[in-house]
Amino acid sequence: MRSFTYERATSAADAAARAAGTPGARFIAGGTNLLDLMKLEIETPGHLIDVNRLGLDRIEATDDGGLRIGALVRNTDLAADERVRRDYGLLSRALMAGASGQLRNKATTAGNLMQRTRCPYFYDTSQPCNKRKPGSGCSAIDGFSRQLGVVGVSDACIATHPSDMAVAMRALDAEVETVKPDGTSRAIPIADFHRLPGETPHVETVLEAGELITAVRLPAPVGGRHIYRKVRDRASYAFALVSVAAVVHPDGTGRVAVGGIAPKPWRVEAAERELPRGANSASAALLAGARPTEHNAFKLTLVERTLAAVLEEARS
Ligand SMILES: Cc1cc2nc3c(=O)[nH]c(=O)nc-3n(C[C@H](O)[C@H](O)[C@H](O)COP(=O)(O)OP(=O)(O)OC[C@H]3O[C@@H](n4cnc5c(N)ncnc54)[C@H](O)[C@@H]3O)c2cc1C
Ligand code: SF4
């Protein structure tokens, strides 16, 4: 690991201003992703800004009947919150499907949204990777791509976003609250938060330099049956091959977001109109324009079958 300097931020606006004004600075929250990347020298920040003591660790009711989740709320605490379990069961289940108890105790809401891909070539510094080193090429496209993306991908990168939590938040229409280095704040719909790779796969979100996530807002509860189904190679401690986050109402309408198949949580609102007709129609609309490789084409069938199982569970 390369040497770096460290400071503890005293306010959110100060953290953002310091990050923007210090070349090579990164925020550190739980550290469960960033420290691994630093040890492997995939990320080499010269300065860390610790945001753990900014008081952003509360879950509060909002005036519109929703919840405001502080950026530093730990995954364990969010999953266990009584209001989340009752009204946003999808989110609680998605969180519990991720990582391990020990990791969830450290991992934060913001860090989870910002975690980087698990593409094996991104982690192998002896291989070209456009995301790690822009312009170097993509080893995965003609390499081993079983776990990688089938939709939203580009000729430069086919990596997936690994978060379970973000898939549930996409189905729930969450908004990401931030503060910028000039002290102004904004709310970014989660649909727009993660970028598709295009020619610049190293630019993963719409955050500006130094912009700090302060919270995630959930709108008022939408009712319905909440199901999160994650298909993976091992029963625990593994990232999704495919995951489906669904809210299904008794009349068969609902919402669906899919993980494990794209560079961002994948939701196609038009596909939801097909839900009452069944998984076949809905998954065809969800996967329109898919560009699978020979190794991961099985994900197209897996999405349809996982969605069929979710709809069956919702009816039962
Ligand atoms: C073995 C293992 C298995 C895992 N399995 C799963 C899994 O199955 N499903 C899953 O979803 N996840 C899984 N994870 C990932 C885990 O959920 C993430 O590592 C964790 O959520 C990251 O949160 P953190 O607070 O530790 O982030 P950190 O490591 O502290 O930071 C991650 C990134 O977020 C940035 N950041 C942190 N806070 C802010 C902020 N407030 N504003 C802007 N940027 C910020 C940091 O600068 C950094 O770039 C696994 C991780 C490990 C190590
Ligand atoms: S898929 Fe993306 S992350 Fe993986 S090697 Fe290609 S450019 Fe790198």
The amino acid occupying position 193 is F
Q: Looking at the CA of 12, which ligand is closest?
A: 1
pTM for this prediction: 0.98
From atom 6 of ligand 2, which residue's Cα is the shortest distance away?
Answer: 138
pLDDT digits (tens, 9 = 90+) for 130-167: 999 999 999 999 999 999 999 999 999 999 999 999 99
Whether residue 117 has its Cβ less than 6 Å from ligand 2: yes
Pocket test for ligand 2, best of 117, 122, 127 (most atoms within 8 A of CB): 122
Whether residue 163 has its Cβ less than 6 Å from ligand 1: yes
pLDDT digits (tens, 9 = 90+) for 84-128: 999 999 999 999 999 999 999 999 999 999 999 999 999 999 999
Residues 6+ apart with CB under 8 A from 136: 128, 129, 130
The amino acid occupying position 82 is E
Q: Looking at the CA of 112, which ligand is closest?
A: 1
- Number of other CB atoms surrounding residue 196 within 10 Å: 16
State the pLDDT at residue 1: 75
Structure tokens belonging to residue 187: 């709310």
Whether residue 131 has its Cβ less than 6 Å from ligand 2: yes
Query: Cα–Cα distance between 46 and 299 in angstroms, integer?
Result: 39
Whether residue 130 has its Cβ less than 6 Å from ligand 2: yes
- The pLDDT profile of the chain, 316 residues, written as one tens digit per residue, is 799 999 999 999 999 999 999 999 999 999 999 999 999 999 999 999 999 999 999 999 999 999 999 999 999 999 999 999 999 999 999 999 999 999 999 999 999 999 999 999 999 999 999 999 999 999 999 999 999 999 999 999 999 999 999 999 999 999 999 999 999 999 999 999 999 999 999 999 999 999 999 999 999 999 999 999 999 999 888 999 999 999 999 999 999 999 999 999 999 999 999 999 999 999 999 999 999 999 999 999 999 999 999 999 999 8
Nearest ligand 1 atom, CA 230: 8
Structure tokens belonging to residue 263: 């560079």
Query: Cα–Cα distance between 210 and 181 in angstroms, integer?
Result: 6
From atom 2 of ligand 2, which residue's Cα is the shortest distance away?
Answer: 157
Whether residue 42 has its Cβ less than 6 Å from ligand 2: no
DSSP-based three-state secondary structure for 61: strand
Query: Cα–Cα distance between 144 and 94 in angstroms, integer?
Result: 27
Between the CA of 94 and the centroid of ligand 1 the distance, in Å, is 15
> How many helices (H) and strands (E) are present in the chain, helices listed first?
13, 11
Between the CA of 166 and the centroid of ligand 1 the distance, in Å, is 11
Query: Cα–Cα distance between 44 and 25 in angstroms, integer?
Result: 9
Whether residue 149 has its Cβ less than 6 Å from ligand 2: no
Structure tokens belonging to residue 311: 């709809």
